[in-house]
Amino acid sequence: MTDQEIRAEAERRASDRTDQEIIRKTLDEGVQTVWDRFALQQPQCGFGQLGVCCNNCAMGPCRIDPFGGKTSLGVCGANVDTIVARNLLDDLSVGAAAHSDHGREVVQVLLETAEGHGQGYQIKDVEKLHRLATEYGIQTDGRATNDIAKDLALGILEEYGTIKNRIQLAERAPEQTKEIWRKTGIMPRSIDREIVEAMHRIHMGVDADYVNLLLHAMRTSLSDGWGGSMAATECSDILFGTPTPLTSITNLATLSRDRVNIVLHGHNPLLSQMIVNVAEDPELKRMAEEKGAKGINLVGMCCTGNELLMRSGIPLAGSFFDQELAIATGAVEAMVVDYQCIYHSIPLTAGCYHTKVFTTSTKGKISGTIYKEFKPENARDTAHEIIKLAIENFPNRNPDRVRIPERPMKVMAGFSEETIRKALGGTYKPLIDAIVAGTIRGCVGIVGCNNPRIKQDYGHITLAKELIKRNILVVETGCSAIACGKAGLLVPEAADLAGEGLASVCRLLGIPPVLHMGSCVDCSRILVLAANIAKELGVGIGDLPIGGAAPEWYSQKAISIGTYFVSSGVYTVLGIPPKIFGSSNVLNLLADGVKGITNSAFAVEPDPLKTADLLEAEINRKRKALNI
Ligand code: BF8
Ordered by start, the domain boundaries in the chain are: 82-165+175-240, 252-401, 415-625
Fold of 82-165+175-240: Substrate Binding Domain Of Dnak; Chain:A; Domain 2 (1.20.1270)
Mean pLDDT, the chain, integer = 97
CA–CA distance, 233 with 220 (Å, rounded to integer): 18
> What is residue 589's DSSP assignment?
I
Q: Given this model, what pLDDT does residue 119 score? A: 85
Separation in Å, CA 40 to CA 20, 27, 35, 37, 285: 20, 15, 9, 5, 44
C-alpha 186/C-alpha 163 separation (Å) is 16
Q: Which atom of ligand 1 is least distant from the CA of 558?
A: 5
Q: Is 83 in the pocket of ligand 1 (CB under 6 A)?
A: no
- Classify 612 as helix, strand or coil: helix
Question: How many other C-beta atoms can be found within 10 angstroms of the C-beta atom of residue 15?
Answer: 18
Residue 212: which residues within 8 A CB-CB, separation 6 or more?
201
Residue 26, burial from CB neighbour count under 10 angstroms (0-12, 13-18, 19+) = buried
CB contact at 8 A, 443 and 546:
yes
Q: Would you state the pLDDT for residue 69?
A: 85
236 C-alpha to center of ligand 1: Å? Answer: 18
Architecture of domain 252-401: 3-Layer(aba) Sandwich (3.40)
Q: Please give the pLDDT value at position 485.
A: 98
pLDDT of residue 384: 97
Give the integer Cα–Cα distance in Å for 456 and 458: 6
Cβ neighbours of 543 (radius 10 Å): 19
Contact 176, 540 (CB under 8 A): yes
Rg (CA), the chain: 24
Are 73 and 79 within 8 A, CB to CB? yes
Ligand 1 binding pocket includes 576 (Cβ within 6 Å): no
CA atoms within 13 A on the CB side of 93: 22
Q: Residue 207: which pLDDT band, with cuts at 50, 70 and 90?
A: very high
Indicate whether residue 341 lines ligand 1 (CB < 6 A): yes
What percentage of residues in the chain have a pLDDT greater than 90?
A: 98
Please, are residues 79 and 64 in contact by the beta-carbon 8 Å criterion? yes
Mean pLDDT of the region 450-459: 98
CA of 207 to the centre of ligand 1 (A): 30
99 lines ligand 1 (CB under 6 A): no
- Nearest-CA residue for ligand 1 atom 7 is 449
Provide the pLDDT for residue 68: 79
Q: What is the mean pLDDT of residues 428-442?
A: 97
- Cα(474) to centroid(ligand 1), Å: 18
C-alpha to C-alpha distance for 481 and 551, rounded to whole angstroms: 12
The model's pLDDT over 552-586, given as tens digits with 9 standing for 90+, comes to: 999 999 999 999 999 999 999 999 999 999 999 99
Our answer on whether the CB atom of 557 is closer than 6 Å to any ligand 1 atom is: yes
**Which ligand 1 atom is at minimum distance from the Cα of 521?**
1
pLDDT tens, residue by residue, 524-561: 999 999 999 999 999 999 999 999 999 999 999 999 99
- Residue 400 CA to its chain's centroid (Å): 36
So what's the pLDDT on residue 620?
98
* CATH architecture of the domain with range 415-625: 3-Layer(aba) Sandwich (3.40)
Which H, E and C letters describe 221-261, residue by residue?
HHHHHHHHHHHHHHHHHHHHCCCCCEEEEECHHHCCCCCEE
pLDDT at residue 363 tops 90: yes
Question: What residue type is assigned to position 546 of the chain?
Answer: I
| Residue 107 φ then ψ, to 5° | -65, -40
Q: Is the CB of 278 under 6 A from ligand 1?
A: no
Q: Is the CB of 102 under 6 A from ligand 1?
A: no
Q: Does ligand 1 come within 6 angstroms of the Cβ of 485?
A: no
Tell me the pLDDT band of 67, cut-offs 50, 70 and 90.
confident
pTM for the predicted model, two decimal places: 0.98
What pLDDT score was predicted for residue 66?
83
User: How does pLDDT run across 278-322, given as a tens digit for each residue?
Assistant: 999 999 999 999 999 999 999 999 999 999 999 999 999 999 999
Q: What is the rounded distance in angstroms from the CA atom of residue 467 to the CA atom of residue 510? A: 19
Q: Which of 374-378, 458-462, 509-513 has the lowest mean pLDDT?
A: 374-378
pLDDT-derived band at 47 (thresholds 50, 70, 90) equals very high
Enumerate the known binding-site residues for [Ni-4Fe-4S] cluster. Answer: 267, 303, 341, 449, 479, 520
Which is the closest atom of ligand 1 to the Cα of 480? 2
Q: What is the pLDDT averaged over residues 12-18?
A: 98
Residue 115: CB atoms within 10 Å: 12
Ligand 1 pocket, mutate which of 340, 341, 457, 522 (most atoms under 8 A from CB): 341
Question: Given CA atoms 253, 256, 258, 261 in this order, what sign does their dihedral have?
Answer: negative
| Cα 333–Cα 232–Cα 415 angle in degrees, nearest 5 | 80
Domains 82-165+175-240 and 252-401 fall in the same CATH topology: no
Q: Judge if the beta carbon of residue 265 lies within 6 A of ligand 1.
A: no
Averaged pLDDT, 120-131: 96
User: pLDDT tens digits, residue range 335-360?
Assistant: 999 999 999 999 999 999 999 999 99
